[in-house]
């Protein structure tokens, strides 16, 4: 995980001027909801990426939730489709930063990127991840 640029420049409205801000994501959490009796229960699956996913600031807008604590940010994620930016309600990005006074730097402390998927996609991701782990384990021997 890595941050390039000033994340506090991103406001509640998506802005193309924030394209210079980059968030490098090394882990994605996939979430699905399955019915368990009367209620839907969340299930998650984390995938560690070999090559980081880069999301630029022009694809982000702060959520309009209540005031977060200092250094905590939540973003809606937009995707570029045919030159237009379209909000993807299934993707969320949350991150936490800390200001180090001695160095005068803002440091990224955590990144939480979630993607909500259907039950079928969720099962396919888990199968694919299991096959990859088994293949890696076999190569080590």
* Max CA distance (Å), the chain: 54
Give residue 76's pLDDT. Answer: 94
pLDDT digits (tens, 9 = 90+) for 36-89: 778 888 889 999 998 999 999 999 999 977 566 888 999 999 999 988 999 999
Residue-number span of the structural domain to which 126 is assigned: 2-140
Element (H, E) at 128: helix 119-140
**pTM metric for this prediction:** 0.83
Query: In this predicted structure, what is the pLDDT of residue 22?
Result: 94
* Cβ atoms within 10 Å of 55's Cβ, excluding its own: 21
What is the rounded distance in angstroms from the CA atom of residue 75 to the CA atom of residue 115? 13
Reference 76, options 121, 106, 115; nearest CA is 115
In this prediction, residue 35 carries a pLDDT of: 80
Does the pLDDT at position 139 exceed 70?
no
pLDDT-derived band at 140 (thresholds 50, 70, 90) equals low
User: Looking at the 3D structure of the chain, how many domains does it have?
Assistant: 1
Q: What's the rounded Cα separation, in Å, for the pair 18 and 70?
A: 20
Instruction: Report the alpha-carbon distance of residue 106 to residue 67 in Å, rounded.
Output: 20
Report the residue count for the chain. 141
Quick: pLDDT tens for 75-132: 999 999 988 999 999 999 999 999 888 888 888 899 999 999 998 999 998 888 878 8
């Amino acid at each position: 995980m890595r941050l390039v640029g000033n994340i506090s420049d991103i406001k509640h409205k998506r802005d193309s001027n924030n394209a210079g801000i980059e968030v490098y994501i090394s882990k994605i959490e996939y979430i699905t909801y399955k019915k368990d009796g009367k209620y839907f229960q969340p299930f998650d699956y984390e995938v560690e990426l070999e090559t980081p996913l880069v999301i630029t600031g022009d694809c982000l807008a702060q959520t309009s939730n209540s005031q977060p604590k200092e250094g905590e940010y939540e973003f809606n994620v937009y995707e570029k489709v045919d030159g237009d930016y379209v909000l993807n309600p299934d993707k969320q990005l949350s991150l936490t930063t800390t200001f180090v006074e001695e160095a005068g730097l803002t440091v990224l402390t955590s990144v939480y990127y979630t993607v909500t998927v259907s039950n079928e996609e969720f099962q396919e991701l888990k199968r694919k991840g299991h096959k990859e782990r088994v293949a890696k384990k076999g190569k080590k021997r």
